[in-house]
Structure 1
Amino acid sequence: MHPPSRFNFIDNLRCFALLLGIVFHAALAYSPYFHNIWLSADSSKAVIFDGLTHWLHLFRMPVFFVIAGFCSALIITKKGAATFIKQRLKRILLPFLVFLPLVIASFIHVLSWGADIATPLPPIYAAFNAMTEPQISTAHLWFLWILIQLCLLHWSVYHISGSLHKRLNCTVNMAIYPLILMACCFVTLLAQPTPFPAPDKLLPQLWALTFYGAFYLFGIILFHNPALFKRAHSAILPLSLTAILSLTAYLVYLPEAPTLQQVIAAAKQGAFTPSGIQHMQVVAIQAVAIVSWTTLILLLGYRFFNQKNNICRYLSDASYWVYLIHVPVLLYIQMPLINTALPAIVKLIISVVGTLSISLLTYHFAVKHTVIGRLLTGNHKNIKKQRDVHT
């Protein structure tokens, strides 16, 4: 039995996660909790953005990695492991190598420009000045860097054991998968601060490969066991209750926001160093919240958004380009806004609408039908015959 040529809920979920990603990065500037950490932190703040950013941080990237694993399994099933790894190297590694220097250059420029025009200056600049040996960061492109490593592992395992999909194609109680994911999240995040950081270091990080790799593997399992979606419909209500309760507990027991002194110390050391029983408790709650919200979003997407939607399809096609450029564009918009007395919610709306508009307009008129567009989304001449998902 051949898989469907298009999974509409994957397009719609990617579109949903993309939009939430822009909202997440924009809201960081107006969150009191992240005021000492974020690059364009604004003196206009509102506590509501603390809840919004913490909530989005829990499930947004895990959902992306589930989608990535699902689509990787789809490509291997349709075209084989050799074609899969060639496409992944072309569609993930090559854009990473091309765009990373451009992204780093844009960050250097916007932060230098921001230092000249922003009043007051975001607190994170004090940490920048304290760094004696700055490390090379992959910025928000860390997703591509982790993903290509997971794809290479996926290809290697499949190359050694071509029957991998048969081993994953088993009928198991749906409850066991979230439990395994929760255990994996707890173990891998135990040595990380809460909220868990972006793994933006250039050197491979075992905790990040294991943490996000578990969700990538979950995506592979879901592809080979589509009945899991249907069997899990009855779990939506208890899963929703678990997600809401765990998020509430997470926000209640979340450690205090790092002070500027702690941020400066972490910048010198290269990382925060969490410890203690309370940290273990928060990590346990965080693990439940991450998995319950990720699973819930996937189930709701499959249940209610598994129909073709031309707008979501277009945004899904544009998502790679938007992902690559949205953070620098957002910073260029938010830096001048620091000098205004507008309410935080107004600044957020300007930031999100402006970033999305610029990203989509540049995609439509300057990228879609160019070499860059073909690199990111495939050959447009054959787009009606085959559309391989890039993440």
Structure 2
Amino acid sequence: MQQRFHYIDNLRGLALLLGVVFHAALAYGPYFHNMWLSVDANKHVLFDYLAMWTHLFRMPLFFVIAGFCAAILVTKRGNGHFIRNRSKRVLLPFVIFLPLTLLVLFQLMVWVVEFSDHPPPLVNLLMAVKEPQINTMHLWFLWYLMQFCALFWLLNKNQRLISKLLEVVVKPVFIVVALPVVISAGMAHLVVPFPAPHTLQPQLWAYCTYGLLFMLGASLYHHHNIVLAALRYFKPLVLVACLTVGAYFYLLPEAPSLEQVRIAVNTGETRVAHINLLLVVVQTLAILSCTAVAYLAGYRWLNQYNEYSRYISDASYWIYLMHIPVLMCVQIPLSNTLLPALAKFTISLSTTLLIGFISYHFGVRYTVLGMLLNGAKATPMQSKAMDSPR
């Protein structure tokens, strides 16, 4: 078996950077007018489809990759090293960046109210909330990832049990039958499109979805031949993904009203009174088929080392952590211009990524923060010294 799975590195970076694309698109899609902090008066439905499509597989793919990486760490470094590593690389960034992000976003909302010609409805709503729920924002994935890592660490204390679980999770009958049923059951009471589990309180549906996908990723490391066998079904999976995504868009309900958003902000509840089982099942099938296509495409075309793609993968963690405040700082001034939505999206996305890469290279990569996020990196001078003859 190869020493490093390059497609895992590359897919992880792409999944995180897709988060920047997703959040940038939310500002310019009419469906999300009541649900985002920097919505713009200029909109186009294209951005609704872009945001919803990436939302279907972006974080599911990330948790499959996270489980794969967890299995690698436990196998190569041991269970004790694994939990220490995840506490440092996952829990500590969450503890550091969450309060900083919330503080910056609060100041930005004050600025939006004063600066914007058309303050977003969600900003006005949040400013009026007297006792807001603690919201983990875009960092919710770190909170759940740490929980899954802690459970994985506990399960690995019993090698017989974890081996049996990983054998079951990777069986075709589990992937094709049990996994869709469990995810659909978990999401049955949620609004569609399914929300992010932003609250600090663990949510069962997130365990049914992201937790099982994490375990599936861990199982794929130990049973990597399954990936090779699945490649023969790549084209049928693409067809299933296209059909289910099309049906998903067709069946989508109306966008949530501002009153529904207000209730969700005040209570943290994102449940529906009446379940549309067909829509939930179609959403689940779209999630799983799109995630499978993305994973297999990564294995097929991204499984080679490239210094530029490795650099992007390393930078993506930092960029994702800091991108929301930066994105808002770019999108809020743009909201007062008459530029078309596509131009605003292009400017805000490219500017945010540019700031992210520049700040990573000059302010993070070779610093203590860079070591925290990605481990120690040799500086160019150190690399030159190591390569020089002695």
Distance in 2 between residues matched to 1:129 and 1:105, nearest whole Å: 13
Give the conservation status (yes or no) of the 8 Å contact 1:132–1:268.
no
Mean Cα displacement is larger for which, 130-139 or 336-345? 130-139
1:246 corresponds, among 240, 244, 247, to 244
- How far residue 48 of structure 1 moved from its aligned partner, in angstroms, is 0.7
Aligned partner (choices 362, 377, 380) of residue 380 of structure 1:
377
**Greater mean deviation of Cα atoms: 148-157 or 88-97:** 88-97
Q: TM-score scaled by structure 2?
A: 0.93
Which residue pairs with 1:181 in the alignment? 179
Question: 201, 209, 234: which one pairs with 1:236?
Answer: 234
Deviation at 1:166, TM superposition (A): 5.9
- Give the counterpart letter for 1:17 in structure 2: A
How far apart in 1 are the matches of 2:251 and 2:87? 42
Unaligned runs of 5+ in 1: 385-391
Which of 298, 301, 306 is 1:301 aligned to?
298
Q: Are 1:40 and 1:335, in contact at CA under 8 Å, matched by a contact in 2?
A: yes
Kept in 1, the 8 Å contact 2:237–2:293? The answer is yes
> Is residue 63–residue 213 contact of structure 2 (8 Å, CA) maintained in 1?
yes
Q: 1:5 aligns with which of 3, 6, 9?
A: 3
Alignment of 1:122-137 (within 5 A): 122-137=120-135
- Per the alignment, residue 386 of structure 2 pairs with none
Displacement of 1:210 after TM fit? 2.5
Can you list the C-alpha shifts for 1:246-302, whole angstroms capped at 9, x where unaligned? 10111111110012232223333332331324x222111101100010011101111
Residues in 2 aligned to 1:92 and 1:171: alpha-carbon distance in whole angstroms: 25
CA distance in 2, matches of 1:172, 1:114: 48
Q: Which moved more, 1:3-12 or 1:361-370?
A: 3-12
The one of 30, 41, 44 equivalent to 1:43 is: 41
Query: 1:292 — aligned with what?
Result: 289
Structure 1 outlier segments of 4+, above 4 Å: 169-173, 381-384
The two structures, once aligned, show a CA RMSD in angstroms of 1.9
Aligned residue for 2:18, secondary structure, equals: helix
Alignment match of 1:275 (pick from 273, 294, 304): 273
Change (3 A) 1:172 1:155: closer
Calculate percent identity across the aligned residue pairs.
46
Per-residue displacement from partner, 1:281-328 (whole Å, max 9, x unpaired)? 211110110001001110111112111122211011111111110111
Letter in 2 for 1:342: L
**Match of 2:360?**
363
TM-score by length of 1: 0.93
1:1-391 to structure 2, matched below 5 A, reads 3-161=1-159, 164-165=162-163, 168-169=166-167, 174=172, 176-277=174-275, 279-381=276-378
Deviates more, 1:228-237 or 1:202-211: 202-211
Aligned residues of 2:74 and 2:82 also touching (Cα < 8 A): yes
Specify the alignment match of 1:387 in structure 2.
none
After superposition, what is the alpha-carbon deviation per residue over 1:319-348, rounded to whole angstroms, capped at 9, x for unaligned?
Answer: 111111011111111111110100000000
Tell me how far 1:129 sits from its aligned partner.
4.1
Question: 2:28 & 2:92 partners in 1: Cα distance?
Answer: 34
Task: Check the 8 A contact 1:126/1:264 in 2, yes or no.
Answer: no
Unpaired runs of 5+ residues, structure 2, are 384-390
The whole-number CA distance in structure 2 between the counterparts of 1:261 and 1:130 is 13
| CA deviation profile, 1:109-145 (whole Å, cap 9, x unmatched) | 1111111111111111232144232011111111100
Shift of 1:187: 1.1
**Is the 1:17–1:60 Cα contact (8 Å) retained in structure 2?**
yes
